[in-house]
């Protein structure tokens, strides 16, 4: 059966951008609207969508990749054979990637890392085979990294970071299918080395994840060899759980963050110092004054503001897309066409933003239109002037400075803004 990568026609090492491009290309060719009545094309499109939905998600992709590796191991779990064949000897000897230990606590765990860069937030997932001790260390380190680098991008930084922290603190995501495959290979490996005790514990761990008849049978075969006293699992589960170590660790981080970000909590005065940016004071989120019902009637109708809102988020998306291309520039094989794309996206972005009614947006949410007209639009203008084949760095730096301020404004206001749009305007967001 073809792998998802083969279906999409990309290498297993392809970047997220390459995968997106390949998918769009295939959709153009195989879209059912272009091939009416052709059931083969419809089936093909179903496969393409299935492949894309897995590969575009970093966590599911890491899971899928490791499964490919595990499943291409020779099928070898015949515990009746005492003399393994050549093919069976070739199985990978799974060990802890960090400490080289080989025991029944080995699991394939997927850890998530989140890195934010202004409006760009990158989520990545890495699969590691680790023993229970190294899983704890890895989980603490991954979460420290998320804490330092992940949360502050908008709007995805905090969302991805919370997801990552929760998954990492459980020792990463441990997909059942992958781990059952890993454990049965490991059990067989122990068996061929005559390490029956560990073989039994590994089978037991596998049975706990996926209670199937075959595993049970192998277990009862080994039971004849291994005395009952040495069949206990390797670790007491509670102490082996990364949560046990992560909770105090995250609690300390939280207290430290509050101390750094809101020193005013410990000064009874009115200090609103924040290390982010001096410009923040101009963009204090509005105090939580509820709009009285009469004011709602004065506001323009939903239909009128919808086009501004859509234009704003459209421009916003164009900007994030631009930054994605910019990030890939270093590795680009066709710099000229990437620069063309950047210019095209920036043009689209400013076209979208110029469709916004600034005054209207200020009425919908205080300061929104001002941020747009004074920061966001000028920033895009600076970027357009600066991002040429011979980049004009001073123009790009001006753009960066303004975008930084846009970022601060957005961080302080996006939740309230989106809540306002939903509550008062009935606009839904994905
Ligand atoms: Zn280890």
Mind listing the pLDDT tens digit for each residue in 99-112?
999 999 999 999 99
One domain, residues 32 and 108? no
Ligand 1 centre from 159 Cα, in Å?
Answer: 30
Ligand 1 centre from 24 Cα, in Å?
Answer: 42
Q: Is the pTM of this model over 0.75?
A: no
One domain, residues 122 and 220? yes
First to last CA, the chain: 35
Ligand 1 centre from 164 Cα, in Å?
Answer: 22
One domain, residues 104 and 170? yes
Ligand 1 centre from 232 Cα, in Å?
Answer: 20
CA distance 149 to 141: 12
Output b/e per residue, 221-230; b: 16+ Cβ within 10 A: bbeeebeeee
Q: What confidence score (pLDDT) does residue 149 get?
A: 87
The reply to whether 278 falls in a domain is no
Question: What is the DSSP code string of 118-148?
Answer: TTEEEEEEEEEEE-HHHHHHHHHHHHHHHHH
Task: Provide the number of structural domains found in the chain.
Answer: 3
Average pLDDT over residues 45-62: 93
With a cut of 90, say whether residue 51 has pLDDT above it.
yes
Ligand 1 centre from 107 Cα, in Å?
Answer: 10
Burial class (CB in 10 A: 0-12, 13-18, 19+), 144: middle
Strand (E) or helix (H) holding 32 = none
Cα 82 vs. chain centroid, distance in angstroms?
45
One domain, residues 318 and 249? no
One domain, residues 401 and 306? yes
Residue 21 belongs to a domain with what CATH number? 1.10.287.110
Q: What confidence score (pLDDT) does residue 154 get?
A: 77
One domain, residues 71 and 212? yes
Ligand 1 centre from 106 Cα, in Å?
Answer: 8
The reply to whether 275 falls in a domain is no
149-161 confidence digits (pLDDT tens)? 888 787 888 888 8
Q: What confidence score (pLDDT) does residue 271 get?
A: 41
- The boundaries of the domain holding residue 323 are 291-425
With a cut of 60, say whether residue 300 has pLDDT above it.
no
CA distances from 96 to 112, 206, 261, 320 (A): 19, 17, 39, 38
Residue 372 DSSP label: I
Ligand 1 centre from 410 Cα, in Å?
Answer: 42
């Amino acid at each position: 059966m073809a792998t998802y990568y083969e279906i999409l026609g990309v290498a297993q090492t392809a970047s997220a951008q390459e995968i997106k491009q390949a998918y769009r290309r295939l959709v153009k060719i195989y879209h059912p609207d272009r091939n009416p009545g052709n059931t083969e094309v419809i089936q093909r499109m179903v496969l393409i969508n299935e492949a894309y939905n897995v590969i575009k998600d970093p966590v599911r992709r890491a899971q899928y990749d490791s499964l490919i590796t595990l499943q291409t191991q020779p099928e070898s779990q015949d515990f009746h054979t005492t003399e393994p064949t050549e093919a069976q000897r070739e199985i990978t000897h799974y060990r802890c990637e960090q400490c080289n230990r080989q025991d029944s606590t080995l699991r394939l765990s997927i850890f998530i890392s989140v890195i934010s860069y202004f409006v760009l937030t990158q989520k990545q997932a890495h699969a590691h085979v680790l023993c229970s001790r190294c899983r704890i260390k890895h989980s603490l380190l991954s979460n420290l990294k998320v804490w330092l680098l992940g949360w502050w991008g908008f709007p995805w930084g905090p969302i991805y970071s919370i997801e990552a922290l929760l998954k990492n603190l459980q020792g990463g995501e441990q997909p059942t299918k992958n781990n059952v495959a890993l454990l049965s290979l490991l059990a067989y490996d122990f068996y061929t080395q005559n390490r029956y005790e560990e073989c039994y514990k590994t089978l037991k761990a596998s049975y706990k994840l996926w209670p199937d008849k075959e595993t049970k049978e192998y277990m009862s075969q080994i039971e004849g060899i291994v005395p009952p006293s040495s069949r206990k699992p390797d670790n007491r589960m509670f102490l082996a759980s990364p949560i046990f170590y992560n909770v105090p660790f995250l609690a300390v981080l939280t207290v430290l963050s509050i101390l750094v970000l809101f020193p005013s909590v410990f000064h009874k005065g009115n200090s609103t110092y924040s290390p982010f940016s001096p410009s923040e004071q101009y963009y204090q989120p509005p105090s939580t004054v509820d709009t009285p019902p009469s004011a709602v009637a004065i506001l323009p109708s939903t239909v009128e503001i919808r086009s501004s809102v859509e234009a704003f988020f459209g421009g916003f998306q164009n900007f994030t897309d631009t930054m994605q291309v910019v990030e890939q520039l270093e590795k680009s094989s066709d710099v000229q066409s990437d620069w063309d794309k950047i210019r095209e996206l920036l043009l689209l972005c400013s076209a979208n933003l110029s469709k916004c009614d600034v005054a209207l947006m200020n009425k919908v949410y205080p300061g929104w239109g001002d941020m747009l007209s004074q920061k966001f639009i000028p920033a895009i203008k600076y970027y357009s002037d600066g991002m040429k084949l011979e980049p004009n760095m001073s123009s790009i730096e001006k753009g960066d400075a303004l975008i930084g301020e846009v970022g601060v404004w957005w961080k302080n206001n996006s939740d309230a803004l989106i809540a306002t749009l939903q509550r008062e305007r009935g606009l839904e967001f994905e």
